Each structure stands twice: as C-alpha cells, then as structure tokens.
Chain A
Amino acid sequence: MSYFSDIYNGIKTLLTGMSITGNYFLHSRKGAITQQYPDNRETLKMFDRFRGEVIMPHDENNEHRCTGCQSCEIACPNGSIEIIWDRQLDPETGKKKKMIDKHIYHLSMCTMCGLCIEACPTDAIVWAQNFENSVYDRSQLTKVLNRPGSKVKAGIED
C-alpha cells in the first residue's frame, strides 16, 4: 500500500515546494536582492564583513594604533605589506623606541585573506567596505596606510 501513500506524499511535497517558490515569486518586487549597481551608487552600502581593502583608521588627533610590530608583514602569505620603521626618541619618556615610518600596502597583490588583520595585536588595521578599486595605473594601488604626520596613540603598547 506504500504505492498510494507514495503518490500522495509525492504530490503533497511537490505542492509544498511550489507554494514556497510561488510565494517568492509574488514577493520578488520588494524582496529582490539584485543591486542595480551604477544607478544606486549613492545609496549602495556593502555589508560589514565585506573585504574591500585593508585600511588603518585614524582618530581625530591623527593618531593610529600601529606599533610597528611587523606581525602583519610576517603573517601576509604573499608579501603585500611592507613596514618601514626605525628607532626614534620618544618625546615623552625620552627613551628610544620602535616606530613606524611607513606602513606600505600593495592592494594589487592582496588576496583579501585577512590574515594580517587577525595577526595584528593592537587592531590597528581593519577591512574597508569600498569596492571601486579600479585605477588606470598600477602604482596607484600601492598605498601608505598611516597618514603623514600621524603618530601612535599613547598607551597602545602597554
């Protein structure tokens, strides 16, 4: 007798499936996930976890959180990050300490793996959500992440 119950179940499950897709069909106008990209350029906002490029946020005093520890440089599997650093005299304590000169990031080589961001002990670098990264000249993709004249925020190293 499983023959007839098979038919019954078959039809029932097919109708269930059709009601679900039919429901989607009726709500497609409001619920459409398509982004009509160049048209909605002004309002298009990428989701939080989108990996656009690595950036280093600076606060209002032009201070960042990077101590120059080079963890990110070591973590990067394809050498997209170069840290140029030297030992400078700390104006407050008067001691010599390691400071970054330039945090160089090659966007053209980055595979967006995120290992550098995980490796950073002070959360100095984060993902940006921008996505319009195309340029006409490759050299423009090599970026210096710390702004000129910026310095490390006090108390980060402790």
Chain B
Amino acid sequence: MKIVSITKTVHDWLFSIMPEGAASIVEMVLIAVAYLAFFAVAGLYLVLLERRVAAWFQLRLGPNRVGPQGIFQTMADALKLVSKELTGTIKADNFLYNLAPYFVIVSSLMALAVFPFTQEFQAFDINIGIFFLIAISSIGVIGILLGGWSSNNKYALIGAMRSGVQTISYELSVGLSLLTMVLLTGTLQLSEIVEVQKNGWLIVQGHIPAIIAFMIYMIAGTAETNRAPFDLVEAESELGAGFHTEYSGMKFAYFFLAEFINMFIIAAIATTIFFGAWLSPFGITDSIPWLGVFWFLGKTLLLVFLMMWFRWTFPRLRVDQLLTLEWKYLLPINLVNIVIMAILVWLNLTIKF
C-alpha cells in the first residue's frame, strides 16, 4: 500500500513513537477520518452546487440567502437534519432498516480511497483499481434494496426493486465501457493508467471508440447513481420518495449524501480513465505536481456539471424504455465497440504524442 507522501513526516513520526502495527493502523484511521471529513463537506457543497445549477437551468436564482450566495445553506440543512428525530415504522425490520443507510454511505466512501488526486496523493493504490471501483460502486445498491425491503412500505419496495433492475442492467455497460479503455492501458491499476496517459489522454489516444465508450459510460454512470433521467427509483410523482420514503433525519441525509458522492465518484472515474486524472492539458503545469489536485477536481466538476445538465434537461424514462435502452442499444454497441478498440490496439492505430 502506498501511503500519501504529503503526510510523509506524519508517517515517519508515527512510526518512530509506536510499534509498526499500531502505527499503520493509526495512520489508516487518520487518513479515513480526513477523507470522511473532506467528502462529507464536499458532498454538502455538491448539493448546493446542484441546487444553484438547477435554479439557473430553470431561470431561477436558487438558494442565496444563508451566507453570501447561499454558501452555508446546505450546512444549515445538514444541521437541521442532524437535530431531527429519527422516526421509524413499527413493522420495519429494525436491524436491516438501520443498517441500510450505512451500507450506502460506506460503500460510496470506500470507492473514494483509490482515486489518484495527484501524483503520490492516493490513499490506496490497489493493482486492480478499476475492478475494485466497479465492484464497490455496485455494492451500494444492496443498501438501497435493504432499505426498501426492510421499511415494509410498498412504495419503498417498488423503488428498491427498480433500483435493483436498473443497477444490474447498467452495471454491464459501465463495466464494458471501462473494459474498452483497459484494452488501451493494459493495466487495471489507476496510477499506471495515469502513467499511460502521459502520451495523451485516453479519449484522444483511443479517438472514435474512446468517445463512444465515454458516451456509454456517462449514460450508464448516470443510471448507476439513480439520478434523473434514470430516477425511477425515487420517482416522486409515482412512489413518494422511493426507497427512502420511511427514513428521516440523519439516515435520510446519508442516502442523500451518498447520491451526491456517487455522482462525484462516477465523474471521478471518468476523469481518471478518459481525461488523464491529474494530468494538465498539454502538460502546462507538469513542473508543479500539487496543481494536479486542481486539474483533477476541475475535470471532475465539469463532468458533474454535465450530469446535472442531463438531469435538468431530460424527462424520466419508463421502466421498459430503461431496459430497452440498455439491452437493445448500449450493450450491443458496447460489445462492437470493444472489438473495434481491440482491432485499433492490434493495428496500432491509436494516437500518441
């Protein structure tokens, strides 16, 4: 495991004052807490961003009262949610009911560990990085299914079942479109994928099939996060609030936050795989490695914005349309695309600088 080198001094200090085993555990806990704190706040700001962007798309102004330009709005919302009573239903399966929100939030936070935010700034550089991401991002749906099942509410159950259908279908497309890119990189390890992209971002290297793969990935990724136009899971007009109908207070906030962190994760995966992660365009800031964080977050936020754009433009799909899109269009195109990419790599037709 590669440890964040920015905290190298902390690392050395910890190892000097305690035995090795204890030191590495303390270190892991410290990193986990830092990530947790950072992404809880980042999630809140993503919610705010979403609300402002949504407002602008609809020619409104959005929340702009709490603090300058409303920057404390979601903080205040979170405080309100923390202080609210956690109500539950009598017939709910209590153990699963209470477990579900943690399942969802933990699985989405786990995925954050593997992203290379900049050179050497990666909490966990596992050699099956992409595989790990795909696996983790589909675990979240278990939390949704648990929540829907255990709250003993027909709307919640229907919402959860739809979520299951959706995730099982679109997981394929996410996986296959990432696999297309893996053909180019020849590795699953995220740090090495970034290394490969020093000769040009993968979306440039792989040109046509890469662009097709990117489009499929964005569509399937949006579906994966259960956001509009794929938000049948919590279709307000049909299902109340969907799988989290029975949740209140902080447990509801976990679901809500997880949705936004998932959106960030999907955008971050796309940034890492297609747009060169922390690499700057044309290498303009290669001499200052820590600027990579800004490039990474900038690209990710741009893709997050793209997903918000989808959400506020397209109407919701029906279940049959959802499945038609996946099984009749995305999947066959994806499979053909993999073959094209394989031929491209075989004949060395990729663009490299």
Contact = CB atoms under 8 A, between A and B. Distances in A.
B60 A17 contact: no
A33 B309 contact: no
A24 B309 contact: no
Contacts of B309: 18, 21-22, 25
B57 interface: yes
B314 A14 contact: yes
B314 A25 contact: no
B57 A36 contact: no
Contact of A7 (B53, B57, B61, B329): B329
Question: Would you call the interface of chain A mostly helix, strand, loop, or mixed?
Answer: helix
Contacts of B329: 7
B58 interface: yes
Contact of B61 (A14, A25, A34): A34
A14 to B, nearest CB: 7
Contacts of B60: 28, 32-34
A22 B53 CA distance: 11
B211 to A, nearest CB: 12
A31 interface: yes
A24 B58 contact: yes
Interface string A27-69: 1100111101000000000000000000000000000000000
Interface in B308-343: 309-310, 312-314, 329, 333
B313 A36 contact: no
Interface in B234-270: none
Give the contact-size bracket for chain A: 10 to 19
Contacts of A18: 309-310, 313
Given A7-B329, A25-B53, A32 B313 contact: no
B25 interface: no
Interface string B47-63: 00000010111111100
A31 B313 contact: no
A21 B57 contact: yes
Nearest to A20: B313
A24 B56 CA distance: 7
Nearest to B311: A21
B59 A17 contact: no
B154 to A, nearest CB: 33
A18 B306 CA distance: 10
A28 B312 contact: no
A28 B313 contact: no
Contacts of A17: 313-314
A36 B61 contact: yes
Contacts of B61: 32, 34, 36
A17 to B, nearest CB: 5
Contacts of B313: 14, 17-18, 20-21
Given A7-B329, A21-B309, A28 B314 contact: no
B314 A24 contact: no
A12 to B, nearest CB: 13
Contacts of B58: 24
Contacts of A31: 59
B314 A33 contact: no
Contacts of B59: 24, 27-28, 31-34
10 contacts: A14-B314, A17-B313, A20-B313, A21-B57, A21-B312, A24-B58, A28-B60, A32-B59, A32-B60, A34-B59
Interface of A: 7, 14, 17-18, 20-22, 24-25, 27-28, 31-34, 36
Interface of B: 53, 55-61, 309-310, 312-314, 329, 333
The 9 A-B residue pairs whose C-beta atoms are closest, nearest first, are A28-B56, A34-B61, A21-B313, A34-B60, A17-B313, A25-B56, A25-B57, A18-B313, A32-B61
